[in-house]
């Protein structure tokens, strides 16, 4: 489980440049950007905050996100 303190400071690496990028924890295994919709997986309790990773899942509806995220 990712600590609440970490979740509060993490931001989308794309949107943070504009002062935005708040993330929402979804299905306990995904961080979804409220601004751009990129979805970042959490694998082994580690958020994978690579832009390329967020881009892969951007068009996937939240309800279709796999749990656990694929490696």
| DSSP per-residue codes, 26-55 | ETTTEEEETTT--EEEEETTEE---HHHHH
- The answer to whether residue 71 is domain-embedded is no
- The answer to whether residue 67 is domain-embedded is no
Number of domains in the chain: 1
The residue range of the domain holding 37 is: 4-62
Residue 19 has pLDDT above 90, yes or no: no
- The answer to whether residue 42 is domain-embedded is yes
Residue 22 has pLDDT above 90, yes or no: yes
How confident is the model at residue 1, as a pLDDT? 79
Give the Cα separation of 17 and 1 in Å (integer).
Answer: 27
Residue 3 has pLDDT above 90, yes or no: no
- As a whole number, mean pLDDT of residues 12-22 equals 91
pTM given for the model: 0.92
- The answer to whether residue 70 is domain-embedded is no
CATH of the domain at 15: 2.20.25
How confident is the model at residue 55, as a pLDDT? 97
The region that residue 41 occupies, defined by phi over 0 for left and psi between -120 and 50 for alpha, beta otherwise, is: beta
User: Predicted confidence band at 68 (pLDDT cuts at 50, 70, 90)?
Assistant: very high
- The answer to whether residue 39 is domain-embedded is yes
Residue with tokens 């609440």: 4
């Amino acid at each position: 489980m990712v600590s609440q303190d970490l979740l509060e400071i993490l931001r989308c690496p794309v949107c943070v440049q504009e002062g935005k990028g708040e993330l929402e924890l979804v299905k306990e295994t995904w961080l979804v950007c409220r601004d751009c919709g990129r979805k970042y997986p959490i694998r082994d309790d580690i958020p994978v905050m690579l832009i390329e990773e967020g881009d892969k899942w951007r068009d996937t509806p939240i309800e279709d996100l796999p749990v656990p995220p694929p490696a």
